[in-house]
Each structure stands twice: as structure tokens, then as C-alpha cells.
């Protein structure tokens, strides 16, 4: 018994070291993601008193900018600090998941969970950069922590609903998860005052959302639904269904195949013990509720126009302690055959090996770490401009964050700010089109302009591209270029006003 405990303590330690090591690796060498800029720029705007959807475009629910904006407002704006904030949330999430596993199934479950976390390099990367995933993963896990509390008090259901509602305020796709948690908590809660608290919390959340979407409902709809659903373009319902079945579902299964394999083996070898399994989940029905809630959360991402496997990272992270618990319970069955035990261990080790992928997440092509390259360019921008000067940046919006400079109106969504709409509609949505960009250049509104290959490819789609190029040549000089920069290893073109 003592040797077993020591062995899995080592597993927890190794998992912790792997998780921390990869987190700090991605802090400095993680590939820059274009979305990081507009999340952090939004964090600045909300602390300047501006409101998402009404004063600037922001295609997520409103909570994240307020959370990430606290350290940015107190300690200074930087991509580095934004990533540190994400890593802090992910560390707390790791600790909570190991704690949950140990509470249900002891040190072995804690060790299994820790090792699964430490080997999930794709998830660690996306939880180390500035996106919704780190905060959302933590809120999902805190919901599980609350529901799994050993206290018989109904307070735990109130806390679970509170964390689930916060998850919805981070990412709209979490609403399916939250609805299930609310219904389950209302069913389980016996004390009237706690039922009232749950109902009041839901009402407050709805009020917050209504406050954010008023008075420009059109802008709020575009940000929260229109932008995401519009990426389907004109595909029919049948074509969308075919895309989900033939492309998205296979991609999802392939990307997370090792977890499907581990889960499938656990289910297969649980069949002989199905009575014990059913009995266990009846006693711990909260685990089933969380699993089904996460399943519904994942399903919503098949329905939106854009589809990326990174969307599923928060759900996978919160499922890992349930994998650890299930694996441990199954391993402890005394009637398990030698073949089953060996198979379980082999599949577990294979899961750790195949989930270990760094390609595409680490950027070492440049002479300096990505964050240092950002710092170098942002320092140039800061030296050449005054705090009151405006910039014209698209994909590289994070340079404005690090330089603590302001971009021109309508550019808060980085390269997603470019839309094929008329001037009045684009302005109403706090976005830009080719014509507005061209007018910014003619009026010399920006002290510095930074455009990447991606930006030029997007601008190329506008009829005003010739005027944009001619105006840029007339009023700006190409100061210098930078190769292999950013998420897509683009060439950057940095322009300064001719009187510079």
C-alpha cells in the first residue's frame, strides 16, 4: 500500500513538472496567435469605459476582457502578462482536477490525471496563450468541484450554478452546459433560499447580457451569432449536415483519437462490472451530469460556421479527471484478468505518448523567442509615436497592446475587422472595409501602419485595393520588413508617415 502511494505521488509530481514545463515553454516559445491581440485590446477598452458590441467589436461573451483587463490595467499592457494570466488559470485548473481525482479515487487517480494533463501538449499550448480556453476550462472544473463537494448543504449547487453561469459569460457555446447544470441543481436543491439564489443568479446573468446588447442589438447579434453562423456562407442545411458528418466529426475523432481509444477501452472492460459501475454513478450522478454537459458543449461547436479542434480543449481538460477516476476504479477490480490489466496500461501509456505533440505550437524559426520579437517591434512603434498617436494594424494588433498605443476605430478585431459591407453598416458594427481603410490612409490618420501578407491577401479582395496601394505609396514610406513573423510566419511591412 505504501509503495503504491509513493509510486502515484511520483506520478503527480512528474505530471506537475511536465505541465509547468510545457506551460513556460509556450509562454516564451509558443507560436503567436492572432486572436491574442484582440482579446487583450478588448481588455484595455473595457477599462477605458467602453462597452463590448456597442463601442467596439468583440465576437465573444463579455466577461474575459474584464478578467484579463485587471492585471493589464494594474501592471501594464503586454502579451507576456496576458499569457501569464492564462497560465495562472491553467495551473489552478490543474490543481483542482488532481484534487477531484484524489477525492474520488485516491492517489492513483491523482497520478493518472496529472500525467494525462502533463502530456496534453495541444491543450497546454491553447491554455497558455490569450484565448478563452484557460478561463473556460477553470470554470468548468470549478463547477465540478462544487458539485462533488462532500457537504450535504445545498450551497454546493448554488456555487455550481454560479461557476457555470460565469462560463456562459466567457463563451456562448457553454450555454448548453450551463442549462443542464441549472436544471440539475434546481432538482437537487431542497432549501427554498438556495433555489431562489439559483433563479436570481440566472436572472442577473440575463440582465447583464441584455445590458451589453443594448441599444445596438444589430451589432450585438453580429458579434455573438452573425459572425460565427455567417461563416457557413450560403450552404444549404443538407450541405452543412454533410460537412459535419464527412469532415468535422472525422477530424474531431482523429485529433482526439487517443482519448477515444482510452475511453473505449475503459467502457469495454467495465461491461463485466456493469452493476458496480451503475451503482457507482448512481451515488455520484454529478459525474454523469458534468460529462453530458461537456458533451453538449462540444456539440455546439459542430454547428458554427468556423470549426477548429482547439474549441474542444476546455471540455477535454475537465474530462481528464473523470478519465483518471474511471481508469483507477477499473484497475482496482479484483476479478480483472491479466489481459485486461495489461491492455489498460498499454493504452494509457499510448495515450500519453500520442497526445505529446509540439509541432506547430513551438516557434523557433526566428533568431529570438516570439515574445521577444513582439517586444522589439512594439518598442520601435513606441519610440516612433506618441501615446496620442493612432496606428493602423490588422493581424498584428498585439503590437499595439505591447506598445500601449491605440488603433484607429473599427480595428479592434484584428484582421477579422475587415468585412464586405457598406461604409455605414461597417461603421455601425464598429468594423472597417477596404474603402474605410483607404480613407484612413489618405487622411493620414495613422502614424504607423503594419500590414502582413495575410492582411494584403484580405485587402486584395476589395475593389479599392489599387487606391489603397497608391495612397500608401503617396503618404507613407516602407520603413522595414520582417520575415517569418507571427502565427502564419508572414512577412510584415512597417510603414511610417513620409515626414517621419
Average pLDDT, stretch 300-304? 92
In this prediction, residues 385-401 reach a mean pLDDT of 95
377 and 346, same domain (yes or no): no
Query: How many domains are contained in the chain?
Result: 2
Residues 139 and 263 placed together within one structural domain of the fold = yes
pLDDT tens readout for residues 117-132: 999 999 999 999 999 9
Taking 60 as the threshold, does the pLDDT of residue 5 lie above it?
Answer: no
User: Looking at residue 335, what is its pLDDT?
Assistant: 53
More confident residue, 183 or 152: 183
| Structure confidence by residue, pLDDT tens digits, 430-467 | 999 999 999 999 999 999 999 999 999 999 999 999 99
The CA dihedral of 327, 329, 330, 331, to the nearest 10 degrees, is 80
Contact 409, 394 (CB under 8 A): no
| Percent above pLDDT 70 for the chain | 97
* Confidence class for position 500, pLDDT limits 50, 70, 90: low
**Residue 63 within a domain:** no
Residues 436 and 341 in one domain: no
Question: pLDDT tier at 6 (50, 70, 90 boundaries)?
Answer: low
Same-domain pairing of 414 and 265: no
Question: Would you say residue 332 has pLDDT above 80?
Answer: no
Q: Give 212 or 338, the one with higher predicted confidence.
A: 212
Flag the least confident range among 22-31, 266-275, 330-339, 489-498: 330-339
* Predicted local distance difference test score (pLDDT) of residue 215: 85
Q: What is the mean pLDDT of the chain?
A: 92
Mean pLDDT in residue range 233-253: 91
243 and 219 assigned to the same domain: yes
Statement to judge: residues 331 and 404 lie in one domain = no
Distant-in-sequence, close-in-space partners of 279: CB < 8 Å, separation ≥ 6: none
User: Are 318 and 399 in a shared domain?
Assistant: no
Confidence class of residue 77 from pLDDT cuts 50, 70 and 90?
very high
Q: Do 388 and 336 belong to one domain? A: no
What pLDDT band is residue 230 in, cutting at 50, 70 and 90? confident
In a domain, 42, yes or no: no
Domain boundary among 319, 354, 389: 354
* pLDDT band at residue 389 using 50, 70 and 90 as cut-offs: very high
DSSP letter for each residue of 209-234: HHHHH-S-HHHHHIIIIIHHHGGGTT
Q: What is the CA radius of gyration of the chain?
A: 25
Residues 388 and 469 placed together within one structural domain of the fold: yes
Instruction: List, for residues 38-52, the tens digit of each pLDDT value.
Output: 999 999 999 999 999
What pLDDT, on a 0 to 100 scale, did the predictor assign at position 1? 46
Q: At residue 180, does pLDDT exceed 50? A: yes
Above pLDDT 90, what percent of the chain? 76
Domain-located, residue 455: yes
What length does the chain have? 500
- Domain boundaries, position 212: 2-30+78-354
In a domain, 51, yes or no: no
Considering only residues 363 and 296, tell me which one the structure prediction assigns the higher pLDDT. Answer: 296
Last residue within a domain, chosen from 354, 386, 405: 354
- The answer to whether residues 197 and 158 touch, using CB atoms and an 8 Å cutoff, is yes
What mean pLDDT comes out for the span 342-368? 83
Helix (H), strand (E) at residue 264: helix 257-270
What pTM does this model have? 0.94
Lowest mean pLDDT among 193-202, 208-217, 376-385, 452-461: 208-217
Amino acid at each position: 500500500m505504501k509503495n503504491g502511494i509513493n509510486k502515484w505521488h511520483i506520478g503527480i509530481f512528474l505530471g506537475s513538472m511536465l505541465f509547468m514545463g510545457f506551460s513556460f515553454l509556450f509562454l516564451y516559445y509558443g507560436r503567436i496567435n492572432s486572436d491574442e491581440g484582440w482579446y487583450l485590446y478588448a481588455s484595455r477598452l473595457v477599462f477605458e469605459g467602453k462597452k463590448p458590441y456597442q463601442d467596439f467589436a468583440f465576437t465573444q461573451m463579455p466577461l474575459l476582457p474584464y478578467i484579463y483587463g485587471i492585471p493589464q490595467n494594474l501592471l501594464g499592457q503586454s502579451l507576456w502578462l496576458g499569457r501569464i494570466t492564462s497560465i495562472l488559470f491553467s495551473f489552478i485548473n490543474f490543481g483542482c482536477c488532481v484534487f477531484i481525482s484524489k477525492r474520488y479515487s485516491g492517489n492513483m487517480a491523482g497520478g493518472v490525471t496529472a500525467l494525462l494533463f502533463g502530456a496534453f501538449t495541444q491543450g497546454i499550448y491553447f491554455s497558455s496563450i490569450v484565448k478563452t480556453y484557460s478561463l473556460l476550462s477553470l470554470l468548468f472544473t470549478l463547477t465540478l468541484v462544487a458539485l462533488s463537494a462532500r457537504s450535504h448543504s445545498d450551497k454546493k449547487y448554488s456555487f455550481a450554478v454560479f461557476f457555470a453561469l460565469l462560463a456562459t459569460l466567457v463563451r456562448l457555446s457553454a450555454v448548453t452546459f450551463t442549462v443542464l447544470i441549472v436544471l440539475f441543481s434546481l432538482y437537487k436543491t431542497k432549501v427554498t433560499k438556495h433555489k431562489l439564489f439559483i433563479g436570481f443568479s440566472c436572472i442577473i446573468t440575463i440582465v447583464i447580457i441584455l445590458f451589453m446588447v443594448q441599444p445596438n442589438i444589430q451589432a450585438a447579434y453580429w458579434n455573438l451569432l452573425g459572425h460565427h453562423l455567417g461563416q457557413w456562407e450560403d450552404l444549404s442545411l443538407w450541405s452543412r449536415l454533410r460537412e459535419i458528418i464527412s469532415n468535422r466529426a472525422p477530424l474531431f475523432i482523429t485529433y482526439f483519437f487517443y482519448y477515444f481509444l482510452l475511453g473505449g477501452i475503459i467502457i469495454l472492460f467495465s461491461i463485466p462490472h456493469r452493476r458496480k459501475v451503475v451503482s457507482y454513478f448512481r451515488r455520484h450522478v454529478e459525474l454523469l451530469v458534468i460529462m453530458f454537459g461537456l458533451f453538449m458543449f462540444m456539440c455546439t461547436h459542430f454547428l458554427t460556421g468556423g470549426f477548429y479542434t482547439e474549441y474542444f480543449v476546455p471540455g477535454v481538460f475537465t474530462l481528464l479527471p473523470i478519465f483518471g477516476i474511471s481508469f483507477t476504479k477499473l484497475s482496482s477490480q479484483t476479478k480483472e484478468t491479466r489481459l485486461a490489466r495489461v491492455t489498460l496500461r498499454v493504452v494509457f501509456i499510448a495515450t500519453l505518448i500520442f497526445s505529446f505533440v509540439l509541432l506547430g505550437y513551438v516557434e523557433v524559426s526566428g533568431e529570438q523567442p516570439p515574445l521577444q520579437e513582439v517586444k522589439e517591434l512594439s518598442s520601435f512603434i513606441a519610440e516612433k509615436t506618441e501615446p496620442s498617436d493612432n496606428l493602423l494594424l490588422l493581424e498584428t494588433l498585439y503590437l499595439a497592446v505591447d506598445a500601449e498605443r491605440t488603433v484607429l476605430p473599427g480595428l479592434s478585431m484584428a484582421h477579422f475587422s475587415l468585412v464586405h459591407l457598406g461604409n455605414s453598416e461597417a461603421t455601425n458594427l464598429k468594423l472597417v472595409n477596404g474603402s474605410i481603410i483607404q480613407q484612413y490612409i489618405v487622411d493620414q490618420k495613422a502614424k504607423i501602419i503594419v500590414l502582413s501578407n495575410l492582411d494584403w491577401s484580405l485587402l486584395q479582395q476589395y475593389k479599392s485595393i489599387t487606391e489603397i496601394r497608391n495612397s500608401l505609396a503617396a503618404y507613407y514610406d516602407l520603413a522595414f520588413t520582417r520575415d517569418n513573423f507571427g502565427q502564419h510566419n508572414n512577412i510584415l511591412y512597417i510603414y511610417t508617415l513620409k515626414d517621419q
